[in-house]
Structure 1
Amino acid sequence: MIQRLLAVGLLAGLLAGLAVAALQNVTTTPLILAAEVYETAAEQAHAGGEAHQHEHAAEPAWEPAPGLQRTAATSVATSVTAVGYAFVLLALMLLSGETIEPKRAALWGACAFASTGLATSLGLAPELPGSAAGDLAARQLWWIGTAAATGAGLFAVLRVERPLVKALGAALILAPHLIGAPQPPAPESTAPAELAARFAAASLAIHAITWILVGAAVGFVWRHLSTKTSAEAAA
């Protein structure tokens, strides 16, 4: 069982991650690169002649070079993230006693996106480099609370028959938005508003595709390995 879990999580995550990485390369990555141009220009404009006064400052942290190195680094990060999603999805479906097959797993992936992507973006939209942001710890706390509350609320609404529990689930989904997400004192961004809007929309689409692809891949790989194991046992 443990071997099957590991195999399904790794294989499904890698398959979905590589597909999503290819999509990112033609959707969100060009927008991030464009935003970095604006961010760098703004930093240089504010820095003025200060650079000459800091010639012996510490070297900046390593970053992948533009081109193949950056594409490879992004693809690896996306694949690792997708593997993590696959293990989370497997754990949740097994704990809930859900049958693991492609359609059901894809629906669980859609619910996971609703919790970790759609609900959280209502208060904290995906941001480009150079955007102003509120307190990091407060943002992280709100994001985690919103994702957890939405996930629990969806489970109560969709899987529990008692009306009171459904009502409590709906209240859980609404609660984080009534509290409100931490916001910066003044919304600022070095990138144009149109670019930021395109990035937010593309990021949400990629996030949704990632979870649904991971779910479908988990279902297909689990079914394939289960069928193979049953055939070997019967032989």
Structure 2
Amino acid sequence: MLARVMSVGLLAGLLAGLVIALVQQVTTTPLILLAESYEKSGTPPTGGATSGAPASGAAHSHGGGASEHAHGDAWEPAAGLPRFFYTGIMTIATAVGVCFLLLAGMLIAGDPIDERHSLAWAVAGFVASGLAPAAGLAPELPGSASGALVARQLWWIGTVAATALALWVFVRMENPLPRLGAVFLLMAPHVIGAPHPHEFESRVPAEVAAQFAALSLVVQGLLWACAGVAVGWLWPRLAPRPAGRVVAS
């Protein structure tokens, strides 16, 4: 069983990560490069910046593996193929993690692992880890104002946990009282409110930031969906083969 879980998780994550890395290259990455040019210069870039402006800082994952951006004067991969390679590696690593989460959830719940159930789990995972937190903390570009890092991380973790538990109650329980409690659980993080900066200042135009936030959620949703489909498709195909009969002579 363990070997099967590892094989499906790694292979499904590789397939989903490669697809999403290509999608990122034509959706969120050009916006990140544009924002980095604003962050570096403080002035709008001249013509052609949207297709690849010089960046500053080390790349790291953002938005559930759907993008990367830079800070400081640390090492960074060169623009073009090296940057695509390192971004792709991080995206594949994120996709592998998502696949293992899906497998663990379905195995613990005792659900059959097929394309339909795996995709349903993937949708729930995206709602809990992407859509619900984005209602309070939208994906951000370099140069955007933001609240304290630790406070944002704690709020994100709490929101993901509360949303996941609420979805579990809605799906698994028929009693109206637990479902009513799940409604309050869904609302609690947003009533508390996400940590935001005292002043909203950004060098990036609002139109670019809004487009990035929307595309990041789309890419993250595609990541979960691709991972779910890949897991559900591979699991039955990598089932152990029954041992052949030994015919006595």
Common fold, TM-score beyond 0.5? yes
The amino acid that maps onto 1:161 is E
Of 65, 85, 100 in structure 2, the residue corresponding to residue 72 of structure 1 is 85
Task: Structure 1 unaligned segments of length 5 or more: list them.
Answer: 44-58
Map of 2:142 onto structure 1: 129
CA distance in 2 between counterparts of 1:196 and 1:132 reads 11
Q: Larger deviation: 3-12 or 154-163?
A: 154-163
Q: Kindly state the Cα deviation for residue 114 of structure 1 after the two structures are TM-superposed.
A: 0.2
Which structure 2 residue ranges, 5 or more long, are not aligned?
44-71
Aligned to 2:193: 180
Tell me if structure 2 keeps the 8 A contact 1:113–1:211: yes
Is 2:164 the partner of 1:154?
no
Q: Distance in 2 between matches of 1:148 and 1:9?
A: 22
2:40 corresponding residue in structure 1: 40
Greater alpha carbon shift after TM alignment, 164-173 vs 15-24: 164-173
Return the match for 1:104 from 108, 111, 117: 117
Quote the RMSD (CA, aligned, Å): 1.3
Give the TM-score normalised by structure 2.
Answer: 0.85
Percent of matched pairs sharing the same residue: 52
Structure 1 counterpart SS, 2:243: helix
Post-superposition offset of 1:234:
5.3
Partner of 1:22 in structure 2?
22
- Hey, what does 2:243 align to over in structure 1? 233
Aligned counterpart for 2:217 among listed residues 199, 204, 225:
204
Sort the Cα spacing of 1:61 and 1:190 in 2 relative to 1 into closer, same or farther, 3 A: same
Q: Compute the displacement of 1:233 (Å).
A: 3.2
Aligned partners of 1:134 and 1:184 also within 8 Å: yes
DSSP-derived class of the 1:233 partner: coil
Name whichever structure is richer in helix by fraction. 1
- Structure number with the bigger relative contact order (C-alpha 8 A, sep ≥ 6) is 1
Distance 1:194 1:234 in 2: 63
**Aligned residue pairs, count:** 217
Write the distance in 2 (CA, Å) between the matches of 1:233 and 1:181.
55
> What TM-score, normalized to structure 1?
0.90
Which runs of 4 or more aligned residues in structure 1 lie more than 2 Å from their structure 2 counterparts after TM superposition?
A: 232-235
Which residue does 1:50 correspond to in 2?
A: none
Whole-Å separation in 2 of the counterparts to 1:129 and 1:37? 9
Letter in 1 for 2:228: G
State the Cα deviation string for residues 88-107 of structure 1 (Å, max 9, x = none): 11111111111110111011
Asked whether the equivalents of residues 157 and 167 of structure 1 are also in contact (C-alpha less than 8 Å), the reply is: no
- Give the corresponding residue for 1:119: 132
